[in-house]
Structure 1
Amino acid sequence: MTRVFFVLTICLSVAACGPRGMVSLVQGVTPEAYDATVQRVFIASNRHLEQGSPEEALHQAFGDSRDPVVSYGRIDISIPPSHQPGQIEWPGNDRPDPAQHFVALSGERYASQLAFLRNLPRPGGRPDVVLFVHGFNVNNAEAVYRLAQIAHDYKTEDPVISFSWPSAGDPRGYVYDRDSVIFARDDLESLLLGLAHDKRRVLIIAHSMGSQLVMETLRQISISGKGRALTSIMGVALISPDIDEDVFLRQARRIEPFPEPFMIVVSRRDRALGLAALLTGTPSRLGSIDDPSRLAQLPIEIIDLSTIPGGDRAGHSTAFTAPEAIRLLRDLSTP
């Protein structure tokens, strides 16, 4: 047991040494001059937001701790012409250059959920939106840039929303993040109910621990007598879900109506979920299950990316970072 905790400590310490992504604001830039693509990302967040900056929603201080009040906004992200599928071209220590890097061009705060909903576009009159719920150890900049990358690489035409819940953004904050999932349930419920009232159709994509937040919230909506709102959900995809298998089954059986289609993306090469299993004292997590037969009674499609090459080193974000996986999942979602 001592050896296990020693290995975990080393892994977490190494992870903590790397530089973290930050939103880089570059104003006065014409994207056409660089042949860049602009991806608009809407944000609903219960992270604490420091006041006093004219571009508050663009600053890293947007969401390092919990806030009982939800903030709403948007950020326009410029994606460089040299972008490679699955990558986020961070500036790192270099000067942000829209010809080479992901950068933010502009942003806006909304005073209320109503103002936020009114500003969500309906391209071609379509009511569809994509709601992304990030996972463990993710700061606000990483959540926003990742969604911009996903929307671009998957060629999404519908507006995309990042529900940026208060992850500590620290690999040592696993327990803090699990508590933040509980903290965030009511606010995600409020957003989903608001979208349903606005007659939106919502595709939910959740990654890692964000899957736990989504399942808890859907269960909460169902058992509180608001299940009609779940009919606005046109699909759910749990990517590398960091959920105990027994807990997932209990959650799923209380959700009525159960969203369909419902997809779970798994991989036996997911090292991050291996560490999560050690931390929680379980053989595996839902996103790395070997035998999915226990889920057979649920209307769920399981996509196994274990043999897909490339992607991130931990094998935890293959669905977003491996070009072959992006092509596969994009083809599956095309009517």
Structure 2
Amino acid sequence: MTRVILTLFLSASIVLAGCGPRGVITVLPGAKTGADTSAVQTVFIATDRRVEGAGPAALIEQRFGEARDPQLRYGRIDISIPPTHVPGQIEWPGNRPPDPAQHFVARSGTRYTNQTAFLNDIPRGTSGSVVLFVHGFNVNNAEAIYRLAQIAHDYETETPVISFSWPSAGDARGYVYDRDSVIFARDDLETLLLGLARDGRRTVILAHSMGGQLVMETLRQMSISGKGDALRPIAGVALISPDIDEDVFLRQANRISPFPEPFMLMVSTRDKALGLAALITGKPSRLGSIQDPSRLAGLPIEIIDLSDIEGGDRAGHSTAFTAPAAIRLLQELGPT
């Protein structure tokens, strides 16, 4: 079951935004009518982005939210997905009036006073599992939440999903800012993982791009600080196009005990976004475009190479969810 969850959610990558207006969460409160065939997907939120204002709307309507907050806050947002939805896409309103029949919109939201109230509201189901998604570089809050809602809906999962929304600048020029925000957010991600462990949850972690760095740093610091028992409930980790230095990853992995299994890497040597990251950092490649996978020998890691998959986004950074062939591959992996 864990491997099924991992493979079904591997397509939770976030596209690096290009030109044009960025997506925002549109809140259209009110109950559905009998004629409304929109589906509703709940996304739970843990965030250390600075929240302006009070009440649930102040949390769920955060747009870029690049300002950092030393206090971790919790919420829930119910996303309406239109009946015209195309799998793999997010139907943004753009400059048009938002219409639940055509666009992703938020139906309602809740802001929790503390972690206990947050955890108590997450359905437990038969296994107590949750899927925790950690977004990557240049992602605003709306993009992280809507993408996770789309993936959960498309793969018809009944497992509750949580978005850890760390303070990315949501700006293509903010690479260094985002790397610093990863360091800032480690303690908050640890706080969330410790809470999930105490609550008896089995957690599957999915991280995209720079979010992989945040996950590895957090697991490492938990292990070396004597909190390894909290790593045991982690039911699996998937790093999607991870923007991590290969040498750093090996050091991180060797200090994590117990090492989560299954542990999956989705990589591509044609990932242009990671090629740019390699240029910025002065290295020949990043972990998500690793050129010598034998370097990972000895680690209990499964590598899924999408280098030969055609289609998808032009940068090759989101092949996992934009290329039909990649989606079919992930679906085939699920039952094994």
TM-score range, shorter chain: over 0.9
Partner of 2:7: none
Q: How does 1:17-36 map to 2 (within 5 A)?
A: 17-30=19-32, 33-36=35-38
Q: Which has the higher contact order (CA 8 A, sep 6+)?
A: 2
Q: Structure 1 stretches of 5 or more lacking a match?
A: 1-13
- Distance in 2 (alpha carbons) for counterparts of 1:31 and 1:40: 18
- Distance in 1 (alpha carbons) for counterparts of 2:102 and 2:31: 13
Q: CA deviation at 1:307?
A: 2.1
Q: Which AA in structure 2 matches 1:167?
A: S
Cα displacement string for residues 155-174 of structure 1 (whole angstroms, at most 9, x for unaligned residues) = 22100000000000000000
Q: CA deviation at 1:122?
A: 1.5
Partner of 1:200: 201
Higher helix fraction: Structure 1 or Structure 2? 1
- Distance in 2 (alpha carbons) for counterparts of 1:128 and 1:54: 25
Cα displacement string for residues 91-118 of structure 1 (whole angstroms, at most 9, x for unaligned residues) = 1111111111111110000000111000
Q: CA deviation at 1:32?
A: 5.4
**Is 1:210 matched with 2:200?**
no
Cα displacement string for residues 235-281 of structure 1 (whole angstroms, at most 9, x for unaligned residues) = 00000000000000000000000000000000122111011001000
Q: CA deviation at 1:64?
A: 2.6
8 Å CA contact 1:309–1:322 kept in 2: the answer is yes
Partner of 1:285: 286
8 Å CA contact 2:17–2:138 kept in 1: the answer is no
- Distance in 1 (alpha carbons) for counterparts of 2:137 and 2:50: 17
**Is 1:191 matched with 2:198?**
no
SS of the aligned residue for 1:181 comes to helix
Q: Which AA in structure 2 matches 1:36?
A: S
- Distance in 2 (alpha carbons) for counterparts of 1:41 and 1:283: 37
Q: RMSD of the alignment, in Å?
A: 1.6
* Most deviating of 79-88 and 162-171: 79-88
SS of the aligned residue for 1:28 comes to coil
Instruction: Give the aligned length.
Output: 321
Partner of 2:47: 45
SS of the aligned residue for 2:35 comes to helix
TM-score by length of structure 2 reads 0.92
* Aligned match for 1:102, one of 104, 113, 121: 104
TM-score by length of structure 1 reads 0.92
Percent identical pairs in the alignment equals 73
Q: CA deviation at 1:52?
A: 4.0
Please list every run of at least 4 consecutive aligned residues from structure 1 whose deviation after the TM superposition is greater than 6 angstroms.
Answer: none
Partner of 2:180: 179
Partner of 1:63: 65
SS of the aligned residue for 2:146 comes to helix
Q: Which AA in structure 1 matches 2:120?
A: R
- Distance in 1 (alpha carbons) for counterparts of 2:39 and 2:24: 19
Q: How does 1:106-255 map to 2 (within 5 A)?
A: 106-123=108-125, 125-255=126-256
